[in-house]
Amino acid sequence: MDTFNFIAGLASIISLILALFVTSKVYSISKTINQINNYQNNERNVTGNAVSQKASGKGHTQVGGDYNAR
């Protein structure tokens, strides 16, 4: 029984260390993705989810969703 308790405790400690390692990697990836998104939003002058669209001239159709031209 002592051997089983030792093996179970060791497995528990190893799984805790592994979980901390995976959590740090996921946090790092999430931080990198947020930095990329912030950079791209600054480059495109995006504020929130709204994108500024402008066109000059006549006969231009700008659509932000589904559109059926007739």
Whether the Cβ atoms of residue 52 and residue 45 lie closer than 8 Å to each other? yes
Q: Which domain holds residue 21?
A: 11-42
Domain-located, residue 65 = no
Number of domains comprising the chain: 1
Domain-located, residue 21 = yes
Domain-located, residue 53 = no
Confidence of residue 64 (pLDDT cuts 50, 70, 90): low
Domain-located, residue 54 = no
Angle, CA 37 vertex, CA 65 and CA 63 arms, to 5°: 15
pLDDT in tens, 5-49: 999 999 999 999 999 999 999 988 888 888 877 776 666 655 555
